[in-house]
Amino acid sequence: MKVLTDVRLLFWRKMLETLRNPVYMLTSLSAPVIYLVLFAPLLRRVAGNGVFTSGNVVDTFVPGLLAIVAFFNGLFAGWGIIDELRSGVVERFRVTPTSRFALLAGPVLRDLVNLLVTVVFFAVIAIPFGFHLHLFGFAILLLLISLLLVTTSSFANAMGLILKDEDRLAPIVQGINLPVLLLAGMLLPMSLAPQWLEVVAHFNPAYYVVEAARLLAAGDIAKAKVAQAFLVMVPLTVFVMAWATRAYNRAIA
């Protein structure tokens, strides 16, 4: 099938870029490790308040970090397409029969592979710090944060293609980044927040990912919050990818 062939070729093109310059993946891994080493010990100060106990601080904190990695890796992907616009790569694709969906899916799939490698390495690194890895729950967790990555990467790539300038893209990314980060409870559970803030958090799709991630990391698979997360993320991912593909069709006519 031509679309699948196009996706494979464009994915491998972007993957070769990563393999030639692995600093990006090392940087993606270093950020959560720094959070784990420098921030997680502070959480032990609030252990025993009903949200944390001395034994599960890391188990609560690490799944939130995994969601942060997925969210950041996807949201900051738009700068790559802007660079390709400037270098004339996108212009060359205009005269090819390449599927516009493949032009989006190739880079997104590369981002997904980078994410999965980073997350698995980080989870292994977190084990000596006290993280308990439940393999089946972790496998479902990978699927869930993959949906988050695909959503944010598709959005960022399409916005980069539409705006065509880093100065225009940066305010949008930063404007989304901080509210979503805080309202998802990625660093601290939203159960610590006042009730009004918890209500607002329910309008943030990433909140459901983080809540489900903590359950899945603990091996609690058959929970309502896990189902809620997939019910939110699956249609959102499909919608954003469809919108992004349409944006590519318009921009690369």
Where do the structural domains in the chain lie, given as residue ranges?
2-251
pLDDT for 204 equals 92
Look at residue 18 and tell me whether its pLDDT is greater than 90: no
Pick 70 or 187 by higher pLDDT: 70
Residue 135 to residues 33, 180, 198, 216: CA-CA distances in angstroms? 21, 28, 30, 9
Mean pLDDT of the chain: 86
User: Distance between CA atoms of 78 and 169, rounded to whole angstroms?
Assistant: 8
Amino acid letter, residue 228? Q
Nearest to 154 by CA among 68, 235, 74: 74
Look at residue 48 and tell me whether its pLDDT is greater than 70: no
Nearest to 159 by CA among 98, 83, 77: 77
3-state secondary structure of 157: helix
3-state secondary structure of 47: strand
Pick 139 or 31 by higher pLDDT: 139
